[in-house]
Amino acid sequence: MAKGFGRPGMGGMGGGINMNMIKQAQKMQENMQKMQAEMEAKEYTAQAGGGVVSATVTGRHEVVALTIDPEAVDPEDVELLQDMIVAAVNEAMRAAEADMAEGMQQLTGGLGLPF
C-alpha cells in the first residue's frame, strides 16, 4: 500500500487535500480566465500634449486608435509629436496593466499570487 493511504487521519488523499479545496481552486481558475478575457477586450485611452494626441489600446496591448490634432503637426518639431505619441501610448498601456492588476487582486483576495 502506498504511504499515506489507508492510514487513520490521512483522509484517504495522501496528506489531507480535500475535494472542496480542489473545487475552490478550479472555480478561481475559471473566474481568472473569464476576467482575463474581459480585460483583454476592454479599451483604454490616454492623452498627451494637453489632449492633442490620444491613443487607445486594448487589454491585449494592441494599439487600436491614434488621434492627432492637426494643430499638433509642426514640420519643424516632429520630435515633439513623436514624444507625445509615445507618452499617450505608454499611459494607455499603464492604465490597462493597472486595471488587470486590480482585477486580479480582487479575484484572488490578496492571496499574494504572482499575477
Read off the pLDDT of residues 62-98 as tens digits, 9 standing for 90 and up.
Answer: 999 999 999 889 999 999 999 999 999 999 999 999 9
This prediction's pTM: 0.68
Lowest mean pLDDT among 26-35, 46-55, 91-100: 26-35
Q: Which phi and psi (to 5°) does residue 3 adopt?
A: -60, 135
Contact between 54 and 46 (Cβ < 8 Å): yes
Strands, sheet with 63-68, edge to edge from the N-terminal-most edge strand = 43-48, 53-58, 63-68
| Sequence spans of domains, the chain | 67-107
